[in-house]
Amino acid sequence: MAENAAKRLKTSEGSGVRIGTHNGHFHADEALAVYMLRLLPTYANSSLVRTRDPALLETCHTVVDVGGEYDATRNRYDHHQRTFTTTFPGRATKLSSAGLVYMHFGRAIIAQQMQKAEDSAEVSVLWNKIYESFIEALDAHDNGISSYDPVKVAEAGLEKRFSTGAFTLGAMVGRLNPNWNDPRPADKVEAQAAEDARFVMASQRIGEEFSRDLQFYTSAWLPARTIVQEAYSKRMQYDPEGRIMVFEGQSVPWKDHLYTLEEEDGTDKKVLYVLYPESPTPGAVWRIQAVPETESSFQSRKALPEPWRGARDAQLDEVSGIPGGIFVHAAGFIGGNKTFDGAKALADKACAF
């Protein structure tokens, strides 16, 4: 679907098209949808019309989050229709305007960033990954879908230990709307212009986060996959049960790739500790990191032994029986040693503890 959309748009490239969306209180999904479109040549110099007037929307080349219509052949991307149930391939979350725009144009955006063909394997991997890591949360937020099943949460009697302060992308965009008691121009045209300026600010702000994510996944996350695969394939050299994985040159973003490799392997022998030099320079100190249960979890599969936690330098040497110790975090998820041999000895001992 994305490839067809991109090809269709080439016919109007550079024509200064108009993007339409609704006026009034704005949200993260249409703010990001507009930003993503403007990353593409067709929309680079596009103008923006914020209105609910059907006649004005009809004059727009592309309309997002308003109009009551989803029709990619006409570049109409609203999701508020009662009959709308579209989801991203392989996912269950109903799309918002951000998800719709990303589903149709995400491949083109990624391909442009990577200078690869839209149908390349690398683009396909990232198209799925960026949806899951960034876009889906916005789709869920706009459609009122909780991260956890509220019924099951209630049945379990779970309560938040503290307020998260609404630290989400959706809340960040929401805070850029005018407050109820902010002064507003009496003139309707001036008032709309002031509101539109806030929307442009919100679109740029959430767009910066998207672009950082895109940059990370194209230039750091994807190249790291090969390095993690190599380290994973060598893990039996360091431990007969494959519990220790070593990055011989430098560390890379490894967690997501490790979980994928283990899942593909179907093995019960999970990696417990990852060793890596603090920097690629000769003589760098070494880190030992416990693998978390999940990428975002604070719980480790096997935390470093409790007697080591919070110990440093000579005290760590004494409690661990291994020279060259630097520290072990009080939570037991990471530690350090002056040499690889020392970090490896810590890992061996921790596995057997």
| DSSP output for 153-164 | HHHHT---SS--
**pTM over the 0.95 mark:** no
Rounded Cα gap, residues 199 and 205, in angstroms: 10
Residues 6 or more apart whose CB falls under 8 angstroms from that of 55 comprise none
Domain stop point among 190, 222, 254 = 222
Give residue 4's pLDDT band: very low, low, confident or very high (50, 70, 90).
very low
228 in any annotated domain: no
For residue 100, CA distances in Å to 91, 116, 192 come to 13, 22, 26
* 227 within some domain: no
Number of structural domains the chain divides into: 2
CA–CA distances in Å: residue 114 to residues 127, 209, 351: 12, 18, 41
Residue 15: the pLDDT is: 54
Q: Are 245 and 209 part of one and the same domain?
A: no
Give CA 51 to chain center in angstroms.
Answer: 31
Counting other chains too, the contacts that 82-88 makes at CB distance below 8 Å and 24 or more residues apart are 88/131, 88/135, 88/136, 88/139
Q: What is the pLDDT of residue 1?
A: 38
List 130's β-bridge partners, or say none: none
Are 182 and 274 members of one domain?
no
Per the structure, the complete domain to which residue 196 belongs is given by 2-222
pLDDT tens profile 193-228: 999 999 999 999 999 999 999 999 999 999 999 999
Given a cut of 80, whether residue 245 has pLDDT beyond it is yes
Q: Is there a single domain that holds both residue 307 and residue 218?
A: no
Q: Is the separation of the CB atoms in 308 and 335 below 8 Å? A: yes
Same domain, 31 and 164: yes
Examine the domain organization and report whether 141 and 174 are in the same domain: yes
What pLDDT score was predicted for residue 10? 39
Confidence of residue 269 (pLDDT cuts 50, 70, 90): confident
Element (H, E) at 99: helix 97-114
pLDDT > 60? residue 3: no
Shared-domain flag, residues 135 and 209: yes
Tokens 């109820």 belong to residue:
180
- Domain annotation covers residue 109: yes
User: Given a cut of 90, is residue 294 above it in pLDDT?
Assistant: no
Q: Give domain status of residue 32, yes or no.
A: yes
Mean pLDDT, rounded, for 266-271 = 90
